[in-house]
A = this chain, B = another copy of it.
């Protein structure tokens, strides 16, 4: 299914993409294409610019050179925002609200994937029984799982994930991999950063290496 015609549509196309801050080069120039149904890996050491690249693709930062399209639109444009969802080092969860309430907010802002249910999703990421706890009292890994559950509920076709494996135990890593596989099978695409310490289970369609 992954290589059907419909899903070969390019999700991200970057040509000579580069970013500099105060005219110091952070990354690039990069050329890559991420097609629907595939998972891309951004590899690089600490400080090589992985987070910065994801922020450029999300439209939070403006690239200083080159050209990039997200589903044919400029990153950060309304179309691109409707199609992409991201998870960064900061999870964007409200500590005073419960896990479930946090999911509901995400749905209110981004909409909900057809047939997805917050309760079921919390169970799927291994948070049975924590739905009503304030997020502030969850452990580091449990917070991460909440953010993953929110992500998986959204209708976004493109995921931009910054170190989704950090703070997770073995079961949590399996959960991420299962979510990624399901997402790709459904015709979505994901871009995942990693510094290569955690083994990535899946066949990765493209790897973007950022030199240090």
Contact = CB atoms under 8 A, between A and B. Distances in A.
Interface of A: 44-47, 51, 89, 126, 138-142, 144-145, 163, 165-173, 195-198
A198 B199 CA distance: 9
A169 B197 contact: yes
Q: Decide if the interface of chain A is mainly helix, strand, loop or mixed.
A: loop
A123 to B, nearest CB: 15
A167 B46 CA distance: 8
A170 B170 CA distance: 18
A177 to B, nearest CB: 12
Contacts of A45: 141, 169-172
A167 B169 contact: no
B198 A51 contact: no
Given A163-B167, A167-B163, A142 B47 contact: yes
B167 A196 contact: no
Contacts of A198: 197-198
A145 B46 CA distance: 10
